[in-house]
Amino acid sequence: MQQVKAKKQRESFDVLSNIIVIFFAVLNLFPLYWLFTSSLKNSSDVVKMPPDWWPQTFTFSNYVEVFNSQPALRWTLNSLYVAGLSTVLLVITSSMAAYAFSKLRFKGRNVLFVIFVSSLMVPKEVMIVPLFRIAQDFGLVNNLHGMIWPNVATAFGVFLLKGFFDSAPDALREAARIDGAGEVRTFLQIMLPIVKPGIGALFILNFVQVWNDYLWQLVIGQDKEMKTLMVGIATLMQDLNPNFAYKMAGATVAAIPMLIIFLLFQQYFTRGLSIGAVKE
């Protein structure tokens, strides 16, 4: 009898918690829904009261205007190039450095790691001016590569992957060495496959971070054609244009690529966020 009562209570709790979760999910998704549907309306329909929850007439003219009046496609490709290439390079450098800090024994390893990781405490904004001067000296201003190189080696990537390498048993590495594998082969063929989940998490987290890196991309990409999507769309938002739907279309264009990336790599993203939450 008590068991039945407990089961009923549990079921009621499940129903209640599901309702709460759904409520908050809808609350979070609604702005996205509103953004997307408004971008398909005429400007006057966006501000209509009572509002049209679903567009009465669909129009893609706002998207056409975004792509016709601004080099939005160019901005999208620029963003993909900058975020994609810097992330691939970051994964390469971070995995090698993390492996060295985790598995190789050398003098001053711990001190070096602490110094390296302490750079995480310095906000990027503090380094903007010196970094800009360096970019200037290398001729990287107004150049997409100027947005990439400062992102190819970060303490965060090393810190994150070191944790994964630490959890890989040393015995595997030793066995590989006994079997005659060199350091490079051990790294590439034995250790790297083990930390693949970490690499996936780093890839997606860094991709998102670089994609949204507004300030650095603003100061480096000065020509209209050199802007990334985030900077370009932010500029578009400053345009004294009374067409709300046009701005909504711009914001949607900025949001969609990231949504696709998130849906494709959802598992890595959530894993990346939960790293360190559970001690194994």
The C-alpha atoms of residue 151 and residue 209 are separated, in whole angstroms, by 10
Q: Which of 72, 85, 90, 254 binds another protein (CB under 8 A)?
A: 85
Instruction: Check residue 240 for interaction with another protein (CB under 8 A).
Output: yes
Nearest alpha-carbon partner for 253 in 65, 59, 48: 65
The pair of structure tokens assigned to 51 is: 């509002």
Instruction: Check residue 255 for interaction with another protein (CB under 8 A).
Output: no
| Positions 155 through 194 that interact with another protein (CB under 8 A) | none
Q: Which of 215, 256, 259, 273 binds another protein (CB under 8 A)?
A: 215
Instruction: Check residue 242 for interaction with another protein (CB under 8 A).
Output: yes
- CB atoms inside a 10 Å sphere around CB 224: 12
- CB atoms inside a 10 Å sphere around CB 125: 9
Instruction: Check residue 144 for interaction with another protein (CB under 8 A).
Output: yes
Residues 101-140: x/- map of binding to another protein (CB under 8 A)? ---------------------------xx--xx--x--x-
Residues 34-73: x/- map of binding to another protein (CB under 8 A)? ---------xx-xxxxx-----------------------
Interaction site with another protein (CB under 8 A):
43-44, 46-50, 77-78, 80-81, 83-85, 88, 128-129, 132-133, 136, 139, 141-146, 200, 203, 207, 215, 218-219, 222-226, 234-235, 237-244, 261, 264-265, 267-268
